[in-house]
Chains A and B, each alone.
Chain A
Amino acid sequence: MSDTLLQAQPDLLMDTGRVEPSDVRTEEMLINMGPQHPSTHGVLRVVLRTDGEMVLEAVPHIGYLHRCAEKIGENVQPFQFIPYADRMDYVAAMNNNQGFSLVIEKLCGIEVPERARHIRVIVAELNRIASHLVTFGAYGLDMGAFTPFLYAFREREYILDLFESACGARLTYSYITIGGVTHDIPDNFVERCREFLDYFEPKIDDYNDLLSYNQIFIKRTGDVGVISAEDAIAWGLTGPCLRGSGVQYDLRKALPYEIYDRFEFDIPYAKPGGTDGVPHGVVVGDSWWRYFVRIEEMRQSVRIVRQALEQMPEGETGIKRPKRTGKLPVGEAYLEVENPRGQLGFLVVGDGSAIPARVKARGPSFCNLSIVNHVCRNCLLADIPAIVGSIDMVMGEVDR
């Protein structure tokens, strides 16, 4: 066994009587985790080089869902690409629609009507809540807690019903489109949305009682897979993974897009354990914080939706119909939006024709996942699901 393991687990020494010498294999072993492993959230394959219980190297192999969406983007008109953007991060399709629409609007200089901007913020923040609920439920499953998953999906159902009433779809919406949204929200949407927020907000405390402050959960995730703030920035981590390392940074505040500069909200970030109501046993940058930042973000999203509902004016919800033969100007535009998983960026190059010369998507999960090998070195095999799960990738967007 390696010395590092003995330092980490001194009671595993031969003379403590817990370990039989005949049980100990001393050669290194390669273990394939995935692509069909329940705790890898889709088709992620991680090749682990192990020494006993110790992981020496964890190399992610991706691409099982690769459809080359960027090549498709070079062959269709921008408004035709929106459904493909849905299918990148299919857990947060609204936010993807928003990112792609915004970059085309930036490139072409399209103005979006006020009402549409408010609707966009409302559905994007609701989708953030729905996405974090999936993460919350699935991460509980990874850690062996089945119950939170059922509660998370019960609440997510309300949001999907709201989306269904607005656009007819429940997963891949294509609702936010270039120049606005496809159609106005139904008459009772605002009322039903407020009802949901009133119902949902107290539930967040229940989640904390159920899972976040559960001692078993804290033991599994606290001080596991610690990423320093410097590493997080250097490896291009964004979203909850960056804020979980104690960096209070959010694109909605740092480089406000849409109308986020009009709303009041806080940016949750990691604080040391034992202070300010933070439980003991967690440290800044660990898996628990990456998880918990998401829970706190749901509260902030509720705040934003309430303000947007309050301020929403009457009026147009989009440009009449995107000009199907409209040409893109010669030039390029790059824009990032704050997705539930981090910063989703699009670079679009126009060459004067109706089809973009290049569509590049910067998937937040792709960048967040690239740190896995760095952070999983010299940790225990049983901690791998805790670390990989806390990064919360959606493979559709990693592989694109």
Chain B
Amino acid sequence: MVAEEICQRLQQRFGADIAAVNLEGAHPHAVVAAEAWPEMARFLRDEPDLRLNFLRCITGLDLLEDNKLAAVYDLMDVTPSGSGPKYETRHEFAVRIEVARDDPHIPSVAAVWPAAEWHEREAYDLLGIVFDGHPDLRRILCPEDWVGHALRKDYEFPMEYHGIPGSTEFDLPNPRH
């Protein structure tokens, strides 16, 4: 099934919860409302002709200009292609959820795809997105007492951590400017 059809199925079932669909370009995805996400996740996983049972990745994005944070869920299916041990992938799809930057809350889908547990912890650690209902939401890559979220665009590099001095001596000018 191509991304277009998956979007149609979602719109039929969830209607207004689908804020936008973006089928242009190399990464077709639907932008959906955070509140409807757990139910939608179950629908995507359990619907017999979709069966998007494999969560590949959760990417956190900082959309500073729109004052938003986003999480992108990349999904695919890994289904038996017959009665034998051979499995195949019939379709891939991506879902994007945008939330307010000053109060970023997204319902956790760790109960739908256990793989989400660590991906959500990573997005929490590096971008500060709070995944409500996560079984064990704490930092995963940075120490637990780290201040700030490194992948936010306005992150300030700490000049001191437990007596260890930080340095900007080798910083190059920002290539964007």
Give A residues with C-beta under 8 Å from B: 62-63, 66, 68, 70-71, 74-77, 106-107, 233-236, 246-249, 254-255, 267, 269, 271, 331-334, 336, 343, 345, 347, 349, 353-355, 357-358, 360, 362, 366-367, 369-370, 374, 399-400
Contacting pair B142 A347 (CB below 8 A): no
| Chain B, range 53-95, C-beta contacts under 8 Å to A | 53-57, 59-62, 72, 74, 78, 84-89, 92, 94
Give chain B residues whose Cβ lies under 8 Å from the Cβ of A331. Answer: 24-27
CB-contact partner of B86 in A248, A355, A366, under 8 A: A248
CB-contact partner of B175 in A75, A248, A271, under 8 A: A75
Contacting pair B175 A68 (CB below 8 A): no
Q: A62-B140, A247-B87, A249-B88 are in contact. Are A236 and B55 (CB under 8 A)?
A: yes
Contacting pair B141 A63 (CB below 8 A): yes
Contacting pair A68 B151 (CB below 8 A): yes
Residue on B nearest A242 in the bound complex, by CB: B78
A366→B74 CA distance, assembly (Å) = 16
Q: Can you list 5 A-B pairs with a CB-CB distance of less than 8 A?
A: A68-B151, A248-B85, A249-B88, A347-B59, A367-B118
Residue on B nearest A369 in the bound complex, by CB: B118
A360→B53 CA distance, assembly (Å) = 21
Q: A360-B59, A399-B141 are in contact. Are A248 and B25 (CB under 8 A)?
A: no
Give chain B residues whose Cβ lies under 8 Å from the Cβ of A343. Answer: 56
| Chain B, range 34-63, C-beta contacts under 8 Å to A | 53-57, 59-62
Contacting pair A66 B118 (CB below 8 A): no
Give chain A residues whose Cβ lies under 8 Å from the Cβ of B53. Answer: 233-234
Q: Does any Cβ of A come within 8 Å of B10's Cβ?
A: no
Q: Does any Cβ of A come within 8 Å of B168's Cβ?
A: no
Instruction: Report which residue of A63, A68, A271 has the largest number of chain B beta carbons within 10 angstroms of its beta carbon.
Output: A63
Give chain B residues whose Cβ lies under 8 Å from the Cβ of A269. Answer: 85
Q: A236-B54, A248-B84, A345-B74 are in contact. Are A370 and B142 (CB under 8 A)?
A: no
Q: A334-B74, A349-B61, A353-B176 are in contact. Are A248 and B87 (CB under 8 A)?
A: yes
Instruction: Report which residue of B55, B56, B94, B174 has the largest number of chain A beta carbons within 10 angstroms of its beta carbon.
Output: B56
A332→B94 CA distance, assembly (Å) = 11
Ordered nearest first, which 7 A-B pairs have the shortest CB separation? Answer: A236-B115, A362-B57, A333-B26, A249-B87, A63-B141, A370-B118, A360-B59
Q: Nearest-CB distance from A24 to chain B (Å)?
A: 32
Interface string of B101-124 (1 = CB under 8 A from A): 000000000000111011100000
CB-contact partner of B174 in A75, A249, A267, A332, under 8 A: A75
Q: A248-B86, A345-B74, A370-B118 are in contact. Are A354 and B175 (CB under 8 A)?
A: yes
Give chain B residues whose Cβ lies under 8 Å from the Cβ of A236. Answer: 54-56, 113-115
A209→B102 CA distance, assembly (Å) = 61
Contacting pair A234 B126 (CB below 8 A): no
Q: Nearest-CB distance from A23 to chain B (Å)?
A: 35
A77→B113 CA distance, assembly (Å) = 34
Contacting pair B117 A332 (CB below 8 A): no
Q: A234-B114, A345-B74 are in contact. Are A254 and B88 (CB under 8 A)?
A: yes
Q: Nearest-CB distance from B77 to chain A (Å)?
A: 9
Q: Nearest-CB distance from A3 to chain B (Å)?
A: 25
Residue on B nearest A360 in the bound complex, by CB: B59
Q: Nearest-CB distance from A15 to chain B (Å)?
A: 41
CB-contact partner of A254 in B61, B89, B115, under 8 A: B89
Q: Nearest-CB distance from A7 to chain B (Å)?
A: 26
Give chain A residues whose Cβ lies under 8 Å from the Cβ of B142. Answer: 63, 66
Residue on A nearest B55 in the bound complex, by CB: A236
Q: Nearest-CB distance from A32 to chain B (Å)?
A: 16
Give chain B residues whose Cβ lies under 8 Å from the Cβ of A248. Answer: 84-87
Give chain B residues whose Cβ lies under 8 Å from the Cβ of A246. Answer: 85
Q: A76-B175, A332-B27 are in contact. Are A63 and B140 (CB under 8 A)?
A: yes
Q: Does any Cβ of A come within 8 Å of B150's Cβ?
A: yes
Q: Does any Cβ of A come within 8 Å of B163's Cβ?
A: no
| Chain B, range 130-177, C-beta contacts under 8 Å to A | 139-143, 150-151, 155, 174-176
Q: Nearest-CB distance from A227 to chain B (Å)?
A: 12
Q: Nearest-CB distance from B54 to chain A (Å)?
A: 6
Give chain A residues whose Cβ lies under 8 Å from the Cβ of B62. Answer: 358
Give chain B residues whose Cβ lies under 8 Å from the Cβ of A255. Answer: 89, 92
| Chain B, range 1-29, C-beta contacts under 8 Å to A | 24-27
Residue on A nearest B76 in the bound complex, by CB: A255
Residue on B nearest A109 in the bound complex, by CB: B26
Q: A63-B143, A374-B114 are in contact. List 7 more A-B contacts (CB 8 A).
A: A63-B142, A248-B87, A336-B56, A353-B176, A358-B59, A367-B115, A370-B118
Give chain A residues whose Cβ lies under 8 Å from the Cβ of B151. Answer: 68, 70-71, 74
Contacting pair A66 B114 (CB below 8 A): no
A255→B117 CA distance, assembly (Å) = 26
A247→B79 CA distance, assembly (Å) = 9
A358→B92 CA distance, assembly (Å) = 21
Q: Nearest-CB distance from A348 to chain B (Å)?
A: 9
Q: Nearest-CB distance from B35 to chain A (Å)?
A: 24
Q: A63-B142, A70-B151 are in contact. Are A247 and B85 (CB under 8 A)?
A: yes
Residue on A nearest B45 in the bound complex, by CB: A234
Contacting pair B87 A254 (CB below 8 A): yes
A23→B55 CA distance, assembly (Å) = 47
A354→B174 CA distance, assembly (Å) = 12
